[in-house]
């Protein structure tokens, strides 16, 4: 009778060890899945950040090209891209001021010119990007940068003067 009880106890211990191993394997699988998911989310945020910068680039370029008069001017605030204060009617270059997808903040780092005009935009995040190379030609300056805040989008620092054809 003693032998029967001893044998049954050993079987329960074996089942318990198998269950512990199964839980450990599931934990490792979940941790790996979490890491892959986190990396995929970070890549998606980087793509969104580059998309937002393209929106700012296009908006600032349109703003400067549609300047009244002979010399191009640049916006003094990002809100100027939502409604151009130089015209009495509503002229929009952006639909909204996008959030920084990395920090999820409305606040952007601004590169200002000598007269307070916006010449560039960058993220304020100090996180390290996954993408370090293979940028488009317009974003080649981002290659090798160690932080998102180093990915600075700037346009030409000098305003473009629109020249008119000479009078006949």
Q: Is 4 inside a domain boundary? A: no
Q: Is 97 inside a domain boundary? A: yes
Q: Is 109 inside a domain boundary? A: yes
Q: Report angle CA 113, 118, 119 to the nearest 5 degrees.
A: 70
Range of the domain at 149: 45-154
Per-state percent for the chain, helix, strand, coil, to nearest 5: 45, 10, 45
Q: What is the pLDDT, as a whole number, of residue 2?
A: 53
CA distance 167 to 123: 47
pTM above 0.85, yes or no: no
Q: Is 58 inside a domain boundary? A: yes
pLDDT digits (tens, 9 = 90+) for 24-68: 999 999 999 989 998 999 999 999 999 998 899 899 989 998 888
Residue 142, CA distances (Å) to 46, 134, 150, 155 in order: 12, 9, 7, 14
pLDDT digits (tens, 9 = 90+) for 88-146: 898 999 999 999 999 999 999 999 988 899 988 999 999 999 888 888 888 888 888 89
Q: Is 143 inside a domain boundary? A: yes
Q: Is 2 inside a domain boundary? A: no
CA distance 35 to 165: 61
Q: Is 51 inside a domain boundary? A: yes
Residue 39 parent element (H or E): helix 2-65
Q: Is 80 inside a domain boundary? A: yes
Instruction: Report the domain count for the chain.
Output: 1
């Amino acid at each position: 009778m003693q032998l029967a009880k001893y044998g049954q106890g050993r079987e329960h211990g074996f089942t318990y060890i198998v269950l512990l191993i199964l839980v450990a394997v599931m934990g490792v699988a979940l941790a790996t899945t979490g890491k892959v998911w986190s990396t995929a989310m970070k890549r998606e945020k980087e793509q969104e950040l580059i998309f937002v910068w393209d929106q700012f680039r296009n908006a600032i370029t349109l703003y400067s090209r549609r300047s009244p008069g002979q010399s191009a001017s640049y916006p003094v605030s990002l809100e100027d891209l939502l409604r151009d204060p130089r015209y009495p009617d509503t002229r929009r270059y952006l639909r909204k001021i996008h959030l920084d997808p990395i920090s999820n903040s409305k606040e952007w780092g601004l590169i200002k010119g000598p007269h307070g005009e916006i010449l560039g935009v960058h993220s304020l995040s100090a996180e390290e990007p996954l993408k370090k190379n293979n940028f488009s030609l317009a974003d080649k300056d981002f290659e090798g940068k160690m932080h998102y805040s180093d990915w600075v989008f700037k346009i030409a620092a000098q305003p473009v003067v629109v020249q008119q054809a000479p009078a006949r």
